[in-house]
Amino acid sequence: MSDWFTLRWSEDGVVLLDQRQLPREEVYLTLDSVEEIARAIESLAVRGAPAIGCAAALGLARAACLSAAQDLEALRSDLEAAATRLARTRPTAVNLFWALERMGALAERALAEPHASVESVRGSLVAAAQEILAEDVRVCRAIGQAGLPLVPEGASILTHCNAGALATAGYGTALGVVRAAFEAGRKVRVLADETRPFFQGARLTAWELQRDGIPVTVITDNMAAHLMRRAEIDLVVVGADRIAANGDVANKIGTYGLAVLAREHGIPFYVAAPISTLDLATPCGDAIPIEERGRAEVAEILSQPIVPEGVPVRHPAFDITPARLVTAVVTERGLARAPYALSLAKLSGLSR
């Protein structure tokens, strides 16, 4: 059992580990209002697609608890306003919208119960949000088991960004595969890309693996090609913010480059993600909205300017890896391989 957690429900608010402060300080924030929760998501205090979904679910539960509504119609309108605010936080991570839809559908059912009251709907939403978190951990463990056969004894595993316990309610997706291999007694080693501009790899992946005693070495993003050429990387495992129906993957900026490099060097490139990250309504990667973030994360490091004032920067936060570069998608229901239009639809249960 870890002695830390990513986020959880409490009667006083949503409690989360402030990831902006890691690895310097372990600070837990207790967020009272929906606005505070939305800002925590926007400012990356909590981040990673499944964790964003969990935070939004807890946010809706919090909205129900804070609502001064005296009747069900007023409560419904407060919940809709909260969902609208939370949906505006980050556009790429589809788990955000998945969680809001799931909570919204649950709210509608609770509101339609024969003896529904403001209190009963609140109780249902708090329980549902906590269940989304518990389920997320179970799903991550299942992803780990599904990915275990892909990790050879002694493997050096390259990962990008943070798709670990910090990006989920616990255990992680890409790092879930690593944890499963480690727990199975395999001597694995992780190479963590630092992940410019926000350094999720250097700060977060390194922090959580070190806490769990899993060997991790940080490299700068531009070292991957050199190490692949020297056969120092056996496989790449990354997470995903959204996977389109054709298998194209949106993930942290820099993922696409790694996939191209992996193909050139004959290294398997795996994407580990829950079924809730599949977006079969979006046909291909070009249709996935890519978040553009502000200047500061690119133009500054630790609040120090590294780009001359007046010189513009670009900051797309995600990129698209075409399905043809993905060796397999690892989900809690097993592996999907090309052709992804068929395998993903089958795994998601849309067709069998």
Active site residues: 241
Q: How far is the CB of 161 from ligand MRU (least distance, A)?
A: 4
Of these, 133, 143, 161, 325, which contacts ligand MRU (CB under 6 A)? 161
- When asked if residue 147 is in the footprint of ligand MRU (CB under 6 A), the reply is no
Rounded distance, CA 99 to CA 83, Å? 10
Of these, 317, 325, 328, 329, which contacts ligand MRU (CB under 6 A)? 317
Q: How far is the CB of 277 from ligand MRU (least distance, A)?
A: 7
Q: How far is the CB of 112 from ligand MRU (least distance, A)?
A: 34
Contact (Cβ atoms closer than 8 angstroms) between residue 22 and residue 211: no
The region of 128-136, 148-156, 225-233, 238-246 touching ligand MRU under the rule CB under 6 A is 238-246
Q: How far is the CB of 113 from ligand MRU (least distance, A)?
A: 34
The residue among 128 and 240 lying less far from ligand MRU, judged by its C-beta, is 240
Q: How far is the CB of 252 from ligand MRU (least distance, A)?
A: 3
Contact (Cβ atoms closer than 8 angstroms) between residue 10 and residue 30: yes
- When asked if residue 282 is in the footprint of ligand MRU (CB under 6 A), the reply is no
Helix (H) / strand (E) containing 206: helix 206-211
Residue with tokens 């609208």: 84
Of these, 239, 247, 254, 285, which contacts ligand MRU (CB under 6 A)? 239
- When asked if residue 50 is in the footprint of ligand MRU (CB under 6 A), the reply is yes
Residue with tokens 């795996």: 270
The residue among 64 and 93 lying less far from ligand MRU, judged by its C-beta, is 93
- When asked if residue 252 is in the footprint of ligand MRU (CB under 6 A), the reply is yes
3-state secondary structure of 235: strand
CA-atom Rg of the chain in angstroms: 20
Q: 69: closest CA among 58, 80, 59?
A: 80
DSSP 99-154: HHHHHHHHHHHHHHSTT--HHHHHHHHHHHHHHHHHHHHHHHHHHHHHHGGGS-TT
The residue among 106 and 146 lying less far from ligand MRU, judged by its C-beta, is 146
Say what the alpha-carbon torsion angle 247, 248, 250, 252 is, to the nearest 10 degrees. Answer: 100
Q: How far is the CB of 195 from ligand MRU (least distance, A)?
A: 8
- When asked if residue 168 is in the footprint of ligand MRU (CB under 6 A), the reply is yes
Of these, 48, 144, 197, 201, which contacts ligand MRU (CB under 6 A)? 48
HSE-up (13 A, CA, CB side) for residue 318: 25
Rounded distance, CA 290 to CA 297, Å? 16
- When asked if residue 251 is in the footprint of ligand MRU (CB under 6 A), the reply is yes
The residue among 159 and 343 lying less far from ligand MRU, judged by its C-beta, is 159
Longest Cα–Cα distance in the chain: 67
Q: Find all residues with CB under 8 Å of 150, minimum gap 6, and list them.
A: 177, 235, 237, 268, 270, 328, 330, 335
Site string for ligand MRU, 194-213 (x = CB under 6 A): ------x-------------
- When asked if residue 163 is in the footprint of ligand MRU (CB under 6 A), the reply is yes
Q: Closest CB to ligand MRU belongs to which residue?
A: 239
- When asked if residue 254 is in the footprint of ligand MRU (CB under 6 A), the reply is no
Q: How far is the CB of 231 from ligand MRU (least distance, A)?
A: 25
- When asked if residue 332 is in the footprint of ligand MRU (CB under 6 A), the reply is no
Contact (Cβ atoms closer than 8 angstroms) between residue 277 and residue 242: yes
The residue among 50 and 144 lying less far from ligand MRU, judged by its C-beta, is 50
Q: Find all residues with CB under 8 Å of 347, minimum gap 6, and list them.
A: 275, 278, 331, 333, 334, 336
Residues between 93 and 112 that touch ligand MRU (CB under 6 A): 93
Return residues touching ligand MRU (CB under 6 A): 47-50, 93, 161, 163, 167-168, 173, 200, 238-241, 251-252, 317
